Amino acid sequence: MFEMKDHSVSDPLADLMLKNLSEVFGERNGERRMAAIKSVYSEEAVFFEAEQRFEGRQAISDAVAALQASFPAEFEFSAVAPPSRNHDVGRLFWQLGPAGFPAVVNGMDIAQFSDGRIRSLYVFLNEQRP
């Protein structure tokens, strides 16, 4: 029989995904973003978005900075639901848009963890309908 997991207990690996959303993707200051990247990602981490691949912490920071430059400063990332984890893989549904208004973009991150950090991150965007 299936038993519901108690979600009131924090999961440090799944919590990395929330930290990644707010302190990496949500941080416009390059120095603070890099400090967060060093605490969230392994040195050899890889970030996959669409057909692009960004390898290493600096490449990830550069990719996030370019992404942030593509949307207005008042847009914020927020989690749609708590992250979940199955062994060394985590999932987080998120949205992006101005605070207090409907999301402009939403998607899902899939992270693979290794040694207490994110080793790879795959970003999936949901198709936007007019």
Confirm whether 43 is domain-assigned. yes
Count of CB atoms within 10 A of residue 83's CB? 21
Residue 3 lies in a domain: no
pTM for the full predicted model: 0.87
**Residue range 115-126, pLDDT digits in tens:** 999 999 999 998
Is 23 within the bounds of a domain? yes
Give dist(CA 114, CA 13) in Å, integer: 9
CATH number for the domain harbouring residue 103 = 3.10.450.50
**How many domains are contained in the chain?**
1
Residue 39 lies in a domain: yes
CB 79 within 8 A of CB 96: no
CA distance 16 to 14: 5
pLDDT category of residue 5 using cuts at 50, 70 and 90:
very low
pLDDT confidence of residue 1: 39
Q: Which amino acid is at 120?
A: S
pLDDT at 111 over 90: yes
In the chain the first and final C-alpha atoms are separated, in Å, by 43
Sorting pLDDT into bands at 50, 70 and 90, what band is 6?
A: very low
Q: What does the mean pLDDT of the chain come to?
A: 91
Model confidence band, residue 10 (pLDDT cutoffs 50, 70, 90):
confident
62 in a structural domain: yes
Percentage helix, strand, coil, to 5, in the chain?
Answer: 30, 40, 30
Asked if pLDDT for residue 61 goes beyond 70, the answer is yes
Residues spanned by the domain of 80? 12-125
Residue 33 lies in a domain: yes
